[in-house]
A = this chain, B = another copy of it.
Amino acid sequence: MGVNQQVTAMNELLIRHAEPSDYQPIIAVLDDWWGGRRMTDMLPKLFFVHFRPTSFVAEHDGRIVGFVIGFVSQTFSEEAYIHFTGIHPEFRKKGLARALYERFFAAVGKRGCRTVRCVTSPVNKNSIAFHRRMGFSIEDSDMIVDGVPVVEGYDGKGEGRVLFCKCLNTGHS
């Protein structure tokens, strides 16, 4: 898809804050978006209720086609964390995840955050490539899988994770 088509596609999209009422339509399709992988346990409704200021959905013709769920760390006030991002399979490779992330960066930047962190499974090669394109660095680890540092058992036994970190531009450097 060329640049002009990307711009056209993006113009038809509305990005707005996530609402509790967005949860049911999203959770109903979530496992399908992940090709059948069971993801729903990782996304309880609480994230749509209590982290609205920093969570966003993208709508196309009134249908949700993408979302990002994140929050400001309550331990480290200058850090933000992205917990979950999903894009409808037919709406991938259009810059939509980038647009959602940029909306998130702006929201948490306004709240004083200077760093954004997130993690992904080592099997999720698209996610790793996306975060690299978005300027995230990967935290070192003794274990390297397909050239990528993986923290073994980070989210429990057998649940290794790639740890990403990005410094936000503060505009005063």
* Interface residues of A, Cβ cutoff 8 Å to B: 24, 27-28, 30, 40-42, 44-46, 49-54, 71-76, 79, 81, 83, 119, 153-157, 159
Contacts and interface: CB of A to CB of B under 8 A. Distances in A.
Contact of A154 (B28, B45, B54): B45
B46 A74 contact: no
A116 to B, nearest CB: 12
Nearest to A26: B156
Given A44-B155, A156-B40, A50 B27 contact: no
A74 B54 contact: yes
Copies in the complex: 2
Contacts of A157: 27-28, 40
A113 to B, nearest CB: 12
A153 B28 CA distance: 10
Contacts of A28: 156-157
A149 to B, nearest CB: 16
Contacts of A49: 73, 75, 81
Nearest to A83: B46
A84 B73 CA distance: 18
Contact of A81 (B50, B53, B156): B50
A151 to B, nearest CB: 9
Given A41-B42, A53-B74, 14 more contacts: A24-B153, A27-B157, A28-B156, A28-B157, A40-B156, A40-B157, A45-B155, A46-B81, A49-B73, A50-B75, A51-B74, A52-B74, A53-B75, A54-B74
A40 B155 CA distance: 8
A35 B33 CA distance: 32
